Amino acid sequence: MRTPFTGVGTALVTPFTKSGALDEAAVRRLARRQIDAGIHFLAPCGTTGENPTLTDEERLRIIDILLEEAKGAVPILAGAGGYNTKEVIQLATEMERRGVSGFLSVTPYYNKPTQEGLYQHYKAFAASTSLPIVVYNVPGRTGVNVEVSTLVRLAELPNIVGVKEASGNVTQMCEICRAVPPEFIVLSGDDALTLPLMAVGGRGIISVASNEIPAEMVRMVEAAERNDFAAARQVHARILPLMLINFVEANPIPVKAAMAAMGLLEEAFRLPMVPPQPASREKIQNVLKDLGLVKAQRAALV
């Protein structure tokens, strides 16, 4: 039986209407598409979901919709993080009442806590809930890195169950896998580094690319889980251009532009996020065409 929050979790985009409202119908369609493709869990209200521009009401509405669509088929790892520990706990409490399976919690950002501050933040969060918490380490966005020694301390707390490691530092990833207990889940936060991480003990990915190609990401990761790295590498080599083009500009600009070209949602962002520049859009469209994700004539009209 699969351990919760291993395999492929989709860092869901948040679809908006052209007027800027939450597109609830699109949230439902995207959730259904993910579940039908065999995704292992859903991770809404994170970086890819434009979390900083969502209201708490919208976050909770997204959770309600996903729970309705999932009907228990896949766990919901809800995004609940931030730089105010008290507010993080308040939001997580509301999400827990609705029935989420756990939390993906980004480190406090902007106020740049010390390693002791990070530990105390997560310790307080963990004490407030019985649900599992996955630490989200993305120093390129938050300005602070969760060091290996801090993760080892956090792993001693019963409901701190894993880390989404998005430092981009392969050496640090290797050190984490070596240092934490075997049951502690180490997930990649970068699609392109999923296989390297799994080769040293990682358990999967919280993925941007699975918004576009959920079945392919599942195929790659499940092959790696079977230790069939030859098959996993074949999938990886084919979809690597998409993994990389998703970061030609700040996430989630490219992935939402790609999904719009694929007919999955309206291309709508909330400021300060804006549509991709023309040169980036052309690169995105070329990758989509090469992978057969859009027809050439459709991409030319976007």
Other CB atoms within 10 Å distance of the CB of residue 264: 17
Biggest CA–CA distance in the chain, Å, is: 55
Whether 71 sits among the annotated catalytic residues: the reply is no
CA distance 72 to 11: 18
Closest CA to 130 of 102, 88, 163: 102
Whether 83 sits among the annotated catalytic residues: the reply is no
Q: Which of 136, 256, 283, 289 is catalytic?
A: 136
Cα 108 → chain centroid? 17
CA distance 273 to 216: 28
User: Hey, what long-range contacts does 169-173 have (CB within 8 A, 24 or more apart)?
Assistant: 170/196, 170/197, 172/145, 172/148, 173/197, 173/200, 173/202
Residues 67, 71, 75: CA angle, nearest 5 degrees: 65
Q: Which of 71, 83, 112, 164 is catalytic?
A: 164
Tokens of 228: 């069939």
Q: Is 190 left (phi over 0), alpha (psi -120 to 50) or beta?
A: beta
Tokens of 213: 């190609």
**Residue that has been written with the tokens 């065999």 in this structure:** 38
Amino acid at site 28: R
Residues 202, 194 contacting (CB under 8 angstroms): yes
* Residues assigned a catalytic role: 136, 164
